[in-house]
Amino acid sequence: MAEIIVPELAESITEGTIAQWLKQPGDTVEKGEFIVELETDKVNVEVISEEAGVVSELLAAEGDTVLVGQVIAVVGAGSGSTTSAPAAQPEAKEEVKAPEAPKAAPVAEETSNEQDRTIASPAARKLAREKGINLSEISPVDPMGRVRVQDVSAHGSAPTPVKAASAPTASAPKEDDGRTTREKMSRRRQTIASRLLEVRQNTAMLTTFNEIDMTNVMALRSRKKDQFFEQNDVRLGFMSFFTKAVVAALKKYPYVNSQIDGTDIVKNNFYDIGIAVSTEGGLVVPIVREADRKNFAEIEANIGELAKKARDNKLALSDMSGGSFTITNGGVFGSLLSTPILNGTQVGILGMHTIQKRPIAVGNEIEIRPMMYVALSYDHRVIDGKDSVGFLKTVKELLENPEDLLLNS
């Protein structure tokens, strides 16, 4: 018999949430095979079984919070044809002396086992418990058989009039009439919310804006993109230009590449640039390490690799720790202008936005140019207006003259 224990996750993480059981009681598991997916504040972690055998018991349900070192499942010997659970049922019958109790106990146990075997989201399990619904009786819409909140709500809609009459609650009518849907925040979303609020409360955050004429960088990209792809097997995007421009500006204005530690300002002599990536679970910020030492192709490849890992939920904690500055691109969603919020202890973040053609004065003429608004949010405790405006002006000048950017890199 082997116990499945919540492993050490990271120095600052002491607990997680059962996101999904990949094995159910009675399933065969091989040594080294994934058995459960844990959701933490930053990433999801898949836990393996250290022994081969049969899953005999799950000690936590999907949606439960579990601590590092806690036993969450048991793997016993066998081939998967039998488990320890059925053997316990006859013993319960022999021990109970009351004439009606033997009938009730197996029913409750079978119901519990059926619910454990049902694949359901944590929110669906929670709602089913609140409504007293057996998950195994629900017919899910999902072709893979996964029960979701909508399935529980739909299943519970018919009997609610009887329940409401006998045990009304304050919140039940609001949720049962279909006008609202309650969904518990994921652990990651809760963490994002608390950290964003902490940043707003504990920093003197301001935002300054500028606009960039993207004509030259778009023309250069258009001329070089095919050759770039042939030589490097990676596409030339705008993020490498912005990353390089940011690194050059950080070197010129080092306080933007710093952080506060008590009463000290710690200036970073490295350039680990965070690139915000939107995922289904929320915004994550993987790090392009030593961006100052990477060329355009290496930056594009690194960003592409990190973005794929983020979408596939495969980012490790090491992929997101230790950044010195962050770039976020709301333009991919069509945002024209925004004020990005600082990331953790960093004192600066650059917000990119959508490229939009606008009439611009060029000399004494009016021309239609592809323009992008950019925003620098910064901690005014460390950075004054001179540095913040100068930083953003440097980024603007380099991107409007990309040949200079290539020389600087």
Q: How confident is the model at residue 151 (pLDDT cuts 50, 70, 90)?
A: confident
Per-residue pLDDT band at 193 (split at 50, 70, 90): confident
SS3 at position 386:
helix
Catalytic residue status for 384: yes
- Lowest-pLDDT range of 151-160, 203-212, 333-342: 151-160
**Higher-confidence residue: 168 or 39?**
39
Which residues on adjacent β-strands are paired with residue 365?
A: 362
Examine the pLDDT at 284 and tell me if it is beyond 60. Answer: yes
Catalytic residue among 27, 353, 384, 387: 384
* 245-255: average pLDDT: 96
Mean pLDDT of 324-346: 92
Q: Which of 256, 245, 276 is nearest to 380 (CA)?
A: 256
- Position with higher pLDDT, 115 vs 22: 22
**Mean local confidence (pLDDT), 264-276:** 95
Nearest to 43 by CA among 306, 335, 317, 256: 317
**Residues spanned by CATH 3.30.559.10 within the chain?**
188-408
Average pLDDT, the chain: 82
For residues 75 and 29, is the Cβ–Cβ distance under 8 A?
A: yes
CATH class of this structure's domain 188-408: alpha beta
Model confidence pTM above 0.75: no
For 121-153, letters b (16+ CB in 10 Å) and e give bbbbbbbbeebebebbebebeeeeeebbbebbb
Residues of the chain with CATH 2.40.50.100: 2-176
Q: Which of 379, 380, 387, 404 is catalytic?
A: 380
Range in 87-101, 258-272, 359-373 with the lowest mean pLDDT: 87-101
- Can you give the pLDDT at residue 283? 83
Q: What is the mean pLDDT of residues 305-320?
A: 87
**Which tens digits make up the pLDDT trace of 361-389?**
999 999 999 999 999 999 999 999 999 99
186 to each of 133, 134, 146, 334, how far by Cα in Å?
A: 22, 23, 18, 26
Q: What's the CA gap between 384 and 301, in Å, rounded?
A: 35
Q: Which of 11-15, 70-74, 79-83, 254-258 has the highest mean pLDDT?
A: 254-258
Label residue 149 by pLDDT band (50, 70, 90): low
The rounded distance, in Å, linking the Cα atoms of 261 and 325 is: 16
353 is catalytic: no
Does domain 2-176 fall under CATH 2.40.50.100? My reply is: yes
Nearest alpha-carbon partner for 330 in 276, 268, 395, 262: 276
List of residues 6+ apart from 370 with CB closer than 8 A: 213, 214, 215, 218, 355, 356, 357
pLDDT of residue 10: 63
pLDDT reported for residue 41: 67
